[in-house]
Amino acid sequence: MTDMKDRIRETIEGNDVVLYMKGTKTMPQCGFSSRVAGVLNYMGVEYQDVNVLADEEIRQGIKEFSDWPTIPQLYVKGEFVGGCDIVTEMTLSGELDELFDKKGVAYSKEAAEKIREANA
């Protein structure tokens, strides 16, 4: 498991934004993964997607790594942000914008506003 944790840590530390998800950013394979990938894609965030369905070790390993039982899992600059519900709430409240601003992650503020307007 140490090797698995090292692989996960390297991925998280080697990319500004990482989404562990079921499927890929262009072809999500579950509704929750699709929602988070859709938000990131719409906001123009560059991120590394990791398809947990392609590797059972990573699928289990990421849950242990974060001590979070569900997938998707979003990491920003090495920090675990949360899953679908948390990312959705943060998007709608503007907290995700604040996190991206604080961490220096590029995104479309206009797209973020449009998401909030559509869900008001």
As a whole number, mean pLDDT of residues 14-19 equals: 98
Q: What is the pLDDT of residues 80-105, one digit of tens each?
A: 999 999 999 999 999 999 999 999 99
pLDDT-derived band at 1, boundaries 50, 70, 90 = low
Q: Domain boundaries in the chain?
A: 2-118
> What six digits make up the tokens of 57?
């070790």
For the whole model, what pTM was predicted? 0.96
Residue positions in the annotated binding site?
30
Class of domain 2-118: alpha beta
* b/e burial code for range 35-46 (CB count within 10 A of at least 16 → b): bbbebbeebebe
Selection from 89, 82, 87, 70 nearest residue 30 by Cα: 70
Residue positions in the annotated binding site for [2Fe-2S] cluster?
30
